[in-house]
Structure 1
Amino acid sequence: MQTKEARFFIPKNPIALANLNNFFLQTPSFQLPHLQEIKSLYLMMQNRISSFPPIIDAHSEILILGSIPGVKSLEKQQYYAHPQNKFWKIIFELVSEPFTEDYTQRIQTIKKYHIALWDVIDSCERKGSLDSEIRNEEANQIAELLEQHPNIKAIFCNGGKSYKNVQKLLGKDYKLPIFLLPSTSPLHTVSFEKKLEDWKRILEFLV
C-alpha cells in the first residue's frame, strides 16, 4: 500500500498568502509548539529563519536570552549546537555537573536548575550566523512569556544583540533585572575563563 507524501502548499492568492504570513509572524513560538516545524518550513520558503519554542516551565527562575539560532543550531534544531559555542560548557561548569553532548540531558539539567532559554528574535532574514547580518526581524513576545511565568527573577542576555533588543522590548526600567553577559559564540573572541567568570552572575539567582 502506497502512502501519499505529505506536502505543504503555499497559497498563490495574495490575500490568502498575506493572511498566512501574518499568522506565522504574529503568533509567538510558544503558542505554536505543534506547528513549529511547519512554521520553520514556511519561513525558509520566504527566505527567513525562525527561533525555537522557549524551554521554560513553572519552576524556571532565570531566563537566558540569545538573539536567534545560528546555522548549526538550525540544522540540528538545538539551542547552542555549534561545537565551538561555550554555552553548555559554561552552564555545566557553573552548576558542577558532568559535561555531556547529549541534548536531552542538557535540557534536563537546565530544568533541574530552573534555567529557561529563549531568543529575542522570532524570525528574520540573515546570511550565515552573524548578528550583524540580521535584517527585517520580528520580535518574540518576551513580556507575554514573562507574565505567564511569574517565578522568573532575572533576565540574562547572551551577547549585545540580545541585550539591545530586550531593552527595546521591555524598557530600561522593567520590573526584573536585566544583565548583559559576554556572548558564548566563538565569534566573540574572549577567553573561556573570562566568559565563565562573568557568567557566574547567574548563580546569585539560582537555588
Structure 2
Amino acid sequence: MTDVLSDLLQHSLRIVLCGTAAGTTSAAERAYYAHRQNKFWKVLHETGLIPEPLQPHQYRHLLQHGIGLTDLVKASAGMDRATLPTLTAADRTRLSNAIATFRPQFLAFTSKTAGQRFFGGKRDYGEQRELIGNTRVWILPSTSGAANGSWRPEIWHRFADQVRAGEPLTSSQRRPCERRGP
C-alpha cells in the first residue's frame, strides 16, 4: 500500500510531530493538517516553533525550522473520532525505527489518541517518561476543529518552551520506551 502522505523526515531535526493518520481533507489536498478549522499551523506560529505563519501546502518548509511530520498509520486516512484506522505492530515499529534513524530531540504526538495508541494505554498530556533512544516524547492536545472541547494551547506553549530550553531529563526520569499491545 502507498502512504497517504509521505513522511517529512531528515536528520538533524529538533522535533517530529506525529498524528494518528491523515484526515480526509489532508488526504485529498496531499498536505498535513489541511482542514481550515485545524489550529495546527496557527499554534506552531503562536508558540514560536516557526517564525512566520505557514499554510498547509507549505508543510515542506517545516524542515527549515527543524520540524518533521509523520503519522502513526500511513496507509489510510480518517478522523480520530470516527472509525479509527487500524494501528498495527508494524506501524509502531515503523515509527520507532524512523525516530531511531533520524534521532530528533523530541517526538510529539499531536493528539492524545495518537499517543495512547502508540503506548497502548491511557496517557495524560505532556512529557512522557519513556524515551525512544535519546528522543523525548510528548503528547499534545489535538489541533483538530473536531477536538475543540479538549483544546489546551498552554500545553503546546509548555512544549515549545521545553524545545527552546532543550532541558534534559534527569536520570531518574528516564526509562526506555516500552509499549503494550499489538
Q: Same fold (TM over 0.5)?
A: yes
Q: Which consecutive segments of 4 or more residues in structure 1 shift more than 6 A?
A: none
Unaligned 5+ residue runs, structure 2? Answer: 121-127, 167-182
In the alignment, the residues of structure 1 paired with residue 111 and residue 67 of structure 2 have an alpha-carbon distance, to the nearest angstrom, of 17
In the alignment, the residues of structure 2 paired with residue 55 and residue 123 of structure 1 have an alpha-carbon distance, to the nearest angstrom, of 15
Q: CA deviation at 1:79?
A: 0.2
Q: TM-score, normalised by structure 1?
A: 0.63
What CA deviation, in whole Å up to 9, does each residue of 1:102-150 have, x standing for no partner? 623x431x222211111111234x7x53444115344251111012112
More moved, 92-101 vs 152-161: 92-101
Unaligned 5+ residue runs, structure 1? Answer: 1-23, 25-38, 40-49
Higher helix share: 1
* 1:83 corresponds to which of 29, 33, 36: 36
In the alignment, the residues of structure 1 paired with residue 155 and residue 63 of structure 2 have an alpha-carbon distance, to the nearest angstrom, of 21
Count of aligned pairs: 152
In the alignment, the residues of structure 2 paired with residue 62 and residue 82 of structure 1 have an alpha-carbon distance, to the nearest angstrom, of 22
Higher strand share: 2
What CA deviation, in whole Å up to 9, does each residue of 1:152-172 have, x standing for no partner? 11211111221012214xx96
Q: % of aligned pairs identical?
A: 18
* 1:56 corresponds to which of 9, 16, 27: 9
Question: Residue 21 of structure 2 aligns to a residue in which SS?
Answer: coil
Q: TM-score, normalised by structure 2?
A: 0.71
Q: Radius of gyration: which is bigger?
A: 1
In the alignment, the residues of structure 2 paired with residue 130 and residue 180 of structure 1 have an alpha-carbon distance, to the nearest angstrom, of 15
Q: 1:205 to 1:145 in 2, by over 3 A?
A: same
Q: 1:75 to 1:90 in 2, by over 3 A?
A: same
In the alignment, the residues of structure 1 paired with residue 105 and residue 156 of structure 2 have an alpha-carbon distance, to the nearest angstrom, of 16
In the alignment, the residues of structure 2 paired with residue 182 and residue 135 of structure 1 have an alpha-carbon distance, to the nearest angstrom, of 19
Q: Does 1:72 align with 2:25?
A: yes
Q: 1:132 to 1:53 in 2, by over 3 A?
A: same
In the alignment, the residues of structure 2 paired with residue 167 and residue 130 of structure 1 have an alpha-carbon distance, to the nearest angstrom, of 16
Question: Residue 107 of structure 2 aligns to a residue in which SS?
Answer: strand
Q: 1:97 to 1:136 in 2, by over 3 A?
A: closer
